[in-house]
Amino acid sequence: MFDIATHPISRRWPARHPDRIQLYSFPTPNGVKASIALEELGLPYEAHRVTLSDADVKSPEFLSLNPNNKIPAIIDPDGPDGAPLALFESGAILIYLAEKTGKLIGSTAADKAQVIQWLMFQMGGVGPMFGQLGFFWKFAGKEIEDPRPRDRYVAEAKRLLNVVETALDGRDWIAGDYSIADIALAPWLRSLDFYGAREVTGWADHPNAVAYLERFLNRPAVQKGLVTPPREG
């Protein structure tokens, strides 16, 4: 059992409201999953900005919470059996928060299995592949002359986009009802715009996905979660 006040993370990012869930994050597609879920579920929380710079994510204080040096991470002071719980990996955080509240994770065992299926599809497929696409299309990897890595991730992103497009036929949300699977998936669909990769992946030719993202972005909790914690300030 630990105390938020004495946890090493608090040396750098002290809690003003230690009774609330502490969120350590930055508004990237993975980071906003946690803030959007907290907003959607109405859980009181305090957000700390941990940038992607080594000075933050590789600081001893942050590594004490996530040895994998990636945002998001949380501490729930009121975890299972009332003991504090520290957690990293956005998918694990989404499942934990949904189970804590009994919301956004399906109401039957079959629904829950579908939600987890699409959540894993995002965690193991869309996130890593779109992330690599971003690297090879927009960031440092675009200077690499060999076109094969770029082509590979463009093709994989297109393939995944088609899976999403087909799955959304006749449904508003990826697993049926709105769930943590949407909170995981939609921010990554949004990232194609940030990567300047809408055209190359044929985004506009996927009307179900386009309407889905708009539906998601219209939710007030999503709008709040997308800017929490603020990038600057």
At closest approach, how far in Å is the CB of 162 from ligand GSH?
23
Rounded to whole angstroms, what are the CA distances from 123 to 18, 30, 46, 64, 219?
30, 9, 25, 23, 22
Tell me whether residue 43 or residue 94 sits nearer to ligand GSH (CB atom).
94
Place of tokens 């709105």: 178
At closest approach, how far in Å is the CB of 174 from ligand GSH?
17
Tell me whether residue 24 or residue 212 sits nearer to ligand GSH (CB atom).
24
At closest approach, how far in Å is the CB of 201 from ligand GSH?
19
Question: In sequence order, which residues have a C-beta less than 8 Å from that of residue 20 and are 6 or more positions away?
Answer: 44, 45, 46, 77
At closest approach, how far in Å is the CB of 142 from ligand GSH?
19
Tell me whether residue 156 or residue 206 sits nearer to ligand GSH (CB atom).
156
The string over 148-183, giving b where at least 16 C-beta atoms fall within 10 Å of a residue's C-beta and e elsewhere, is eebeebbebbbebbeebbebbeeeebbbebbbbbbb
Binding site for ligand GSH (CB under 6 A): 28-31, 52, 57, 69-71, 89-91
59 bridge partner residues? none
Place of tokens 């890595």: 149
Tell me whether residue 99 or residue 172 sits nearer to ligand GSH (CB atom).
99
Tell me whether residue 21 or residue 71 sits nearer to ligand GSH (CB atom).
71
At closest approach, how far in Å is the CB of 156 from ligand GSH?
17
Place of tokens 């999953």: 33
